[in-house]
Amino acid sequence: MEITQRPRRLRGNDVLRKMVREVRMDKSSLIYPMFVREGSNIKEEIPSMPGQYRYSVDRMEEKLTELCDAGVCSVMFFGIPDKKDELGSGAYAQDGIVQKAFRKARQVCPDLYLIGDVCMCEYTSHGHCGVLCGQEVDNDRTLELLAKTAVSQAQAGADMVAPSDMMDGRVAHIRKALDGNGYVNVPIMSYAVKFASSFYGPFRDAAGSAPSFGDRKSYQMDYHNRREAWKEALLDVQEGADILMVKPAMAYGDLIREIKERTHVPVAAYSVSGEYAMVKAAAQSGYIDEELVMCELAVGAYRAGCDIYITYFAEGLAKCMDKGIIG
Protein backbone atom coordinates (compact mmCIF):
# COMPACT_ATOMS: atom_id res chain seq x y z
CA MET A 1 0.00 0.00 0.00
CA GLU A 2 1.38 3.42 -0.98
CA ILE A 3 1.12 5.69 2.07
CA THR A 4 3.60 8.55 1.98
CA GLN A 5 2.74 10.14 5.31
CA ARG A 6 2.94 7.72 8.22
CA PRO A 7 2.76 9.58 11.56
CA ARG A 8 3.23 6.27 13.37
CA ARG A 9 6.88 6.24 12.24
CA LEU A 10 7.64 8.68 15.06
CA ARG A 11 5.89 6.57 17.69
CA GLY A 12 7.92 3.41 17.28
CA ASN A 13 9.76 3.36 20.61
CA ASP A 14 10.14 5.32 23.80
CA VAL A 15 13.40 7.05 22.84
CA LEU A 16 11.91 8.34 19.60
CA ARG A 17 8.64 9.39 21.23
CA LYS A 18 10.56 11.49 23.77
CA MET A 19 12.83 12.91 21.06
CA VAL A 20 9.90 14.42 19.15
CA ARG A 21 7.82 15.39 22.18
CA GLU A 22 6.20 18.80 21.68
CA VAL A 23 5.61 19.64 25.35
CA ARG A 24 8.52 19.39 27.75
CA MET A 25 8.14 19.86 31.48
CA ASP A 26 10.73 20.68 34.09
CA LYS A 27 10.66 20.52 37.88
CA SER A 28 11.65 24.18 38.08
CA SER A 29 8.21 25.13 36.75
CA LEU A 30 6.32 23.47 39.63
CA ILE A 31 4.96 25.38 42.63
CA TYR A 32 3.59 23.60 45.69
CA PRO A 33 0.78 25.33 47.67
CA MET A 34 1.26 24.81 51.40
CA PHE A 35 -1.06 25.54 54.33
CA VAL A 36 0.50 26.88 57.53
CA ARG A 37 -1.34 27.51 60.76
CA GLU A 38 -0.79 28.84 64.24
CA GLY A 39 0.13 26.40 66.99
CA SER A 40 2.93 23.96 67.66
CA ASN A 41 3.67 20.36 66.71
CA ILE A 42 0.76 20.30 64.26
CA LYS A 43 0.50 18.22 61.13
CA GLU A 44 -3.18 17.63 60.49
CA GLU A 45 -4.56 16.00 57.37
CA ILE A 46 -7.17 17.95 55.44
CA PRO A 47 -10.25 15.66 55.18
CA SER A 48 -11.33 16.90 51.76
CA MET A 49 -7.77 16.71 50.38
CA PRO A 50 -6.27 13.33 51.33
CA GLY A 51 -2.50 13.50 51.54
CA GLN A 52 -2.45 17.26 52.15
CA TYR A 53 -1.81 18.75 55.59
CA ARG A 54 -1.91 21.91 57.63
CA TYR A 55 1.45 22.48 59.29
CA SER A 56 2.47 24.57 62.24
CA VAL A 57 5.63 26.55 61.62
CA ASP A 58 7.73 24.19 63.73
CA ARG A 59 6.62 21.18 61.62
CA MET A 60 7.15 22.77 58.21
CA GLU A 61 10.72 21.62 57.79
CA GLU A 62 9.85 17.98 57.15
CA LYS A 63 7.63 18.85 54.18
CA LEU A 64 9.94 21.52 52.82
CA THR A 65 12.82 19.03 52.94
CA GLU A 66 10.74 16.42 51.09
CA LEU A 67 9.97 18.94 48.37
CA CYS A 68 13.61 19.96 48.01
CA ASP A 69 14.70 16.31 47.85
CA ALA A 70 12.18 15.71 45.06
CA GLY A 71 13.43 18.74 43.15
CA VAL A 72 10.46 21.05 43.77
CA CYS A 73 12.08 24.40 44.46
CA SER A 74 9.10 26.77 44.83
CA VAL A 75 6.42 26.95 47.55
CA MET A 76 3.43 29.24 47.94
CA PHE A 77 2.17 29.79 51.48
CA PHE A 78 -1.44 30.13 52.62
CA GLY A 79 -1.94 31.16 56.23
CA ILE A 80 -4.54 30.07 58.76
CA PRO A 81 -4.58 32.46 61.72
CA ASP A 82 -6.00 31.76 65.18
CA LYS A 83 -7.85 35.07 65.26
CA LYS A 84 -9.76 36.88 62.55
CA ASP A 85 -11.29 40.34 62.39
CA GLU A 86 -13.25 42.53 59.99
CA LEU A 87 -10.10 44.10 58.54
CA GLY A 88 -8.11 40.87 58.23
CA SER A 89 -5.25 42.35 60.25
CA GLY A 90 -3.47 38.99 60.47
CA ALA A 91 -2.70 39.22 56.77
CA TYR A 92 -0.32 42.15 57.20
CA ALA A 93 0.84 41.72 60.80
CA GLN A 94 4.61 41.50 61.23
CA ASP A 95 4.07 38.42 63.40
CA GLY A 96 1.33 36.97 61.17
CA ILE A 97 1.33 33.27 60.47
CA VAL A 98 2.56 33.60 56.87
CA GLN A 99 5.24 36.07 57.87
CA LYS A 100 6.50 33.61 60.48
CA ALA A 101 6.42 30.84 57.89
CA PHE A 102 8.59 32.84 55.50
CA ARG A 103 11.20 33.50 58.17
CA LYS A 104 11.30 29.85 59.22
CA ALA A 105 11.45 28.54 55.65
CA ARG A 106 14.29 30.89 54.84
CA GLN A 107 16.23 29.46 57.78
CA VAL A 108 15.66 25.76 57.16
CA CYS A 109 15.62 25.69 53.34
CA PRO A 110 17.47 28.78 52.13
CA ASP A 111 17.42 27.70 48.48
CA LEU A 112 13.62 27.46 48.24
CA TYR A 113 11.82 30.13 46.23
CA LEU A 114 9.06 31.50 48.47
CA ILE A 115 5.79 32.97 47.23
CA GLY A 116 3.07 34.64 49.24
CA ASP A 117 -0.62 34.50 48.45
CA VAL A 118 -1.90 38.05 48.98
CA CYS A 119 -5.56 38.05 49.96
CA MET A 120 -7.82 38.78 52.92
CA CYS A 121 -10.27 35.88 52.91
CA GLU A 122 -8.34 33.63 55.31
CA TYR A 123 -7.99 36.52 57.76
CA THR A 124 -11.36 38.30 57.76
CA SER A 125 -14.09 37.32 60.19
CA HIS A 126 -16.63 37.41 57.34
CA GLY A 127 -14.51 35.40 54.89
CA HIS A 128 -14.63 37.88 52.03
CA CYS A 129 -11.52 39.05 50.20
CA GLY A 130 -11.59 42.65 51.35
CA VAL A 131 -13.05 45.34 53.57
CA LEU A 132 -16.83 45.40 53.73
CA CYS A 133 -19.10 48.36 53.21
CA GLY A 134 -22.45 46.96 54.27
CA GLN A 135 -22.79 43.68 52.39
CA GLU A 136 -20.37 44.62 49.59
CA VAL A 137 -16.60 44.48 49.36
CA ASP A 138 -15.15 47.99 49.17
CA ASN A 139 -12.65 47.72 46.33
CA ASP A 140 -10.60 50.87 46.93
CA ARG A 141 -10.32 50.57 50.73
CA THR A 142 -9.15 47.00 50.25
CA LEU A 143 -6.25 48.06 48.01
CA GLU A 144 -4.40 49.68 50.89
CA LEU A 145 -4.54 46.50 52.97
CA LEU A 146 -3.46 44.33 50.07
CA ALA A 147 -0.46 46.58 49.53
CA LYS A 148 0.41 46.39 53.25
CA THR A 149 0.14 42.60 53.07
CA ALA A 150 2.46 42.36 50.07
CA VAL A 151 5.06 44.62 51.69
CA SER A 152 4.91 42.69 54.98
CA GLN A 153 5.48 39.44 53.12
CA ALA A 154 8.45 40.87 51.25
CA GLN A 155 9.88 42.12 54.54
CA ALA A 156 9.50 38.62 55.99
CA GLY A 157 11.42 37.04 53.10
CA ALA A 158 8.98 36.40 50.26
CA ASP A 159 10.67 36.22 46.87
CA MET A 160 7.39 36.85 45.03
CA VAL A 161 3.86 37.96 45.90
CA ALA A 162 0.69 36.65 44.29
CA PRO A 163 -2.49 38.73 44.77
CA SER A 164 -5.55 36.51 44.53
CA ASP A 165 -8.28 38.91 45.68
CA MET A 166 -9.53 40.09 42.25
CA MET A 167 -9.89 43.75 43.29
CA ASP A 168 -9.61 46.26 40.44
CA GLY A 169 -6.29 48.10 40.45
CA ARG A 170 -4.56 45.84 42.98
CA VAL A 171 -1.50 45.10 40.85
CA ALA A 172 -0.65 48.78 40.35
CA HIS A 173 -1.24 49.51 44.02
CA ILE A 174 0.95 46.63 45.17
CA ARG A 175 3.68 47.49 42.66
CA LYS A 176 3.80 51.08 43.90
CA ALA A 177 3.97 49.95 47.53
CA LEU A 178 6.69 47.38 46.90
CA ASP A 179 8.78 49.85 44.93
CA GLY A 180 8.29 52.57 47.51
CA ASN A 181 9.61 50.27 50.22
CA GLY A 182 12.67 49.18 48.28
CA TYR A 183 11.34 45.90 46.90
CA VAL A 184 11.62 46.77 43.20
CA ASN A 185 12.92 43.29 42.39
CA VAL A 186 10.05 41.37 44.02
CA PRO A 187 7.86 40.10 41.14
CA ILE A 188 4.07 40.02 41.14
CA MET A 189 2.31 36.88 39.94
CA SER A 190 -1.24 38.07 39.50
CA TYR A 191 -4.25 35.81 39.79
CA ALA A 192 -5.36 37.73 36.72
CA VAL A 193 -7.95 35.30 35.38
CA LYS A 194 -9.59 33.85 38.46
CA PHE A 195 -13.09 32.50 38.07
CA ALA A 196 -15.86 32.11 40.62
CA SER A 197 -15.49 28.36 40.48
CA SER A 198 -17.05 25.39 42.21
CA PHE A 199 -13.63 23.72 42.15
CA TYR A 200 -12.48 25.70 45.22
CA GLY A 201 -14.55 23.84 47.83
CA PRO A 202 -11.79 21.73 49.40
CA PHE A 203 -9.47 24.77 49.66
CA ARG A 204 -12.08 26.68 51.64
CA ASP A 205 -12.29 23.72 53.97
CA ALA A 206 -8.50 23.59 54.26
CA ALA A 207 -8.04 27.31 54.89
CA GLY A 208 -11.31 28.00 56.72
CA SER A 209 -11.99 30.77 54.22
CA ALA A 210 -15.58 30.24 53.09
CA PRO A 211 -17.59 33.50 53.13
CA SER A 212 -20.03 33.75 56.03
CA PHE A 213 -22.68 35.17 53.70
CA GLY A 214 -23.23 35.52 49.99
CA ASP A 215 -20.56 34.53 47.49
CA ARG A 216 -17.61 36.03 45.63
CA LYS A 217 -19.21 36.49 42.24
CA SER A 218 -19.08 40.29 42.47
CA TYR A 219 -15.27 40.14 42.27
CA GLN A 220 -14.29 36.73 40.90
CA MET A 221 -15.08 36.20 37.24
CA ASP A 222 -18.09 34.60 35.53
CA TYR A 223 -16.79 31.41 33.89
CA HIS A 224 -18.92 32.04 30.80
CA ASN A 225 -16.67 34.93 29.72
CA ARG A 226 -13.63 34.76 27.43
CA ARG A 227 -13.16 38.38 26.40
CA GLU A 228 -13.39 39.51 30.01
CA ALA A 229 -10.48 37.17 30.76
CA TRP A 230 -8.36 38.91 28.12
CA LYS A 231 -9.37 42.27 29.55
CA GLU A 232 -8.33 41.30 33.07
CA ALA A 233 -5.02 39.88 31.86
CA LEU A 234 -4.13 42.89 29.73
CA LEU A 235 -5.03 45.32 32.51
CA ASP A 236 -2.76 43.49 34.92
CA VAL A 237 0.12 43.57 32.45
CA GLN A 238 -0.37 47.33 32.08
CA GLU A 239 -0.31 47.68 35.87
CA GLY A 240 2.98 45.82 36.17
CA ALA A 241 2.21 42.13 36.62
CA ASP A 242 5.26 40.01 35.88
CA ILE A 243 3.38 36.69 35.62
CA LEU A 244 -0.29 36.05 34.89
CA MET A 245 -2.24 33.17 36.37
CA VAL A 246 -5.31 31.34 35.11
CA LYS A 247 -7.32 29.61 37.85
CA PRO A 248 -8.61 26.88 37.81
CA ALA A 249 -6.56 24.93 35.26
CA MET A 250 -8.42 21.81 34.16
CA ALA A 251 -11.54 23.35 32.62
CA TYR A 252 -9.78 26.48 31.32
CA GLY A 253 -7.19 25.26 28.84
CA ASP A 254 -8.67 27.46 26.13
CA LEU A 255 -7.98 30.56 28.21
CA ILE A 256 -4.49 29.45 29.17
CA ARG A 257 -3.77 29.26 25.44
CA GLU A 258 -5.39 32.57 24.60
CA ILE A 259 -3.71 34.48 27.43
CA LYS A 260 -0.40 32.96 26.38
CA GLU A 261 -0.87 34.13 22.80
CA ARG A 262 -2.15 37.62 23.66
CA THR A 263 0.46 38.65 26.22
CA HIS A 264 4.25 38.68 26.49
CA VAL A 265 4.61 37.54 30.11
CA PRO A 266 4.88 34.02 31.55
CA VAL A 267 1.58 32.27 32.26
CA ALA A 268 0.84 30.16 35.32
CA ALA A 269 -2.02 27.72 35.78
CA TYR A 270 -3.31 26.73 39.22
CA SER A 271 -4.60 23.18 39.42
CA VAL A 272 -6.91 23.82 42.32
CA SER A 273 -8.11 21.81 45.31
CA GLY A 274 -11.22 20.46 43.61
CA GLU A 275 -9.16 19.02 40.77
CA TYR A 276 -6.85 17.35 43.27
CA ALA A 277 -9.75 16.01 45.37
CA MET A 278 -11.53 14.54 42.33
CA VAL A 279 -8.43 12.66 41.21
CA LYS A 280 -7.86 11.37 44.74
CA ALA A 281 -11.47 10.28 45.20
CA ALA A 282 -11.66 8.51 41.84
CA ALA A 283 -8.34 6.77 42.44
CA GLN A 284 -9.36 5.62 45.92
CA SER A 285 -12.50 4.13 44.40
CA GLY A 286 -10.41 2.24 41.86
CA TYR A 287 -11.86 4.08 38.87
CA ILE A 288 -8.61 5.61 37.59
CA ASP A 289 -4.86 5.29 37.92
CA GLU A 290 -3.96 8.31 40.08
CA GLU A 291 -0.41 8.70 38.82
CA LEU A 292 -1.29 8.51 35.14
CA VAL A 293 -4.25 10.89 35.42
CA MET A 294 -2.20 13.33 37.51
CA CYS A 295 0.43 13.37 34.77
CA GLU A 296 -2.09 13.71 31.96
CA LEU A 297 -3.77 16.71 33.60
CA ALA A 298 -0.41 18.39 34.06
CA VAL A 299 0.66 17.82 30.46
CA GLY A 300 -2.70 19.19 29.33
CA ALA A 301 -2.04 22.47 31.14
CA TYR A 302 1.46 22.77 29.68
CA ARG A 303 0.20 21.85 26.23
CA ALA A 304 -2.38 24.62 26.54
CA GLY A 305 0.50 27.03 27.10
CA CYS A 306 1.30 27.41 30.78
CA ASP A 307 4.90 28.00 31.79
CA ILE A 308 4.30 27.48 35.52
CA TYR A 309 2.10 24.87 37.15
CA ILE A 310 0.80 25.34 40.70
CA THR A 311 -0.36 22.00 42.03
CA TYR A 312 -0.78 19.89 45.16
CA PHE A 313 0.68 17.08 43.06
CA ALA A 314 4.01 18.92 42.64
CA GLU A 315 6.07 16.36 44.52
CA GLY A 316 4.42 13.44 42.74
CA LEU A 317 4.93 15.05 39.34
CA ALA A 318 8.60 15.65 40.10
CA LYS A 319 9.01 11.96 40.91
CA CYS A 320 7.22 11.01 37.69
CA MET A 321 9.70 13.15 35.78
CA ASP A 322 12.50 11.15 37.40
CA LYS A 323 10.78 7.95 36.26
CA GLY A 324 10.47 9.28 32.73
CA ILE A 325 6.68 9.03 32.73
CA ILE A 326 6.48 12.72 31.85
CA GLY A 327 9.02 15.43 31.14
Question: What per-residue string of b and e applies to 115-127 under the rule 16 or more CB within 10 Å gives b?
Answer: bbbbbbbbbbebb
In the three-class reduction of DSSP (H, G, I as helix; E, B as strand; rest coil), residue 131 is classed as coil
For residue 194, indicate whether it is catalytic.
yes
Residue 39: CA atoms inside 13 Å, Cβ hemisphere, count? Answer: 16
Distance (Å, whole) CA 59 – CA 57? 5
DSSP 221: B
Residue-wise DSSP of 160-202: EEEE-S--TTHHHHHHHHHHHTT-TT--BEEEEEEB--GGGHH
- Whether the Cβ atoms of residue 310 and residue 269 lie closer than 8 Å to each other: yes
Question: What per-residue string of b and e applies to 287-317 under the rule 16 or more CB within 10 Å gives b?
Answer: ebeebebbbebbbbbbebbbbbbbbbbbbbb
For residue 247, indicate whether it is catalytic.
yes
Where do runs of H (alpha helix) occur along the chain?
A: 14-19, 60-70, 97-108, 139-156, 170-180, 201-207, 227-239, 253-262, 273-284, 290-304, 314-323
Catalytic one of 84, 194, 260, 280: 194
Catalytic one of 100, 104, 247, 280: 247
Active-site residue list: 194, 247
